[in-house]
Copies of this chain bind each other. A is one copy, B any other.
Amino acid sequence: MKRNTWQREAVREALDTSGGFISAQGLHSALHAGGSPIGLATVYRALSDLADQGEADSLQSPDGESLYRACTTTGHHHHLICRNCGLTVEIGADEVEAWAKRVAGEHGFTEAAHVVDVFGLCATCSATAR
């Protein structure tokens, strides 16, 4: 049976609060900074669970860390991420969905999954940059 613990809730809330993508270690630090004595292993487990249940999205940062983010949209979607400030926009991508499936099919591939993420500079950071 699944039980509700304050730790689970704390992770969920911390994720919501963070806004952008954050690493498991980062979340753990944030929670500790906020006075929570939650354990690192627990944070990893909670994030993994949330990701499995579709309540959180995960992706791999370019340097190999796993990053997590609270999912506002349920269901499959992709992200547009500001590489400077971390601002993230969730984007539906039926177009890409269809493309991925078609390309996979054309080459005889089955069980196609895909990784599609767009990194850039958001409007604010673009303006600041110059």
Q: What residues make up the interface of A, taking CB atoms closer than 8 Å to B?
A: 60, 62, 64, 66, 80, 82, 89, 91, 93, 95-96, 99-100, 103-104, 107-123, 126
Do residues B116 and A121 form an inter-chain contact, with CB atoms below 8 A? Answer: no
Do residues B109 and A80 form an inter-chain contact, with CB atoms below 8 A? Answer: yes
How distant is A111 from chain B, measured CB to nearest CB, in Å? 5
- Closest partner residue, chain B, to A105 (CB atom): B120
- Classify the secondary structure of A's interface with B: strand
Q: How many copies of this chain?
A: 2
Do residues B110 and A114 form an inter-chain contact, with CB atoms below 8 A? Answer: no
Top 5 nearest A-B pairs (CB, nearest first) are: A108-B123, A109-B120, A112-B120, A110-B126, A114-B118
Do residues A122 and B109 form an inter-chain contact, with CB atoms below 8 A? Answer: yes
A60 partner, pick from B60, B100, B107, beta carbons under 8 A: B60
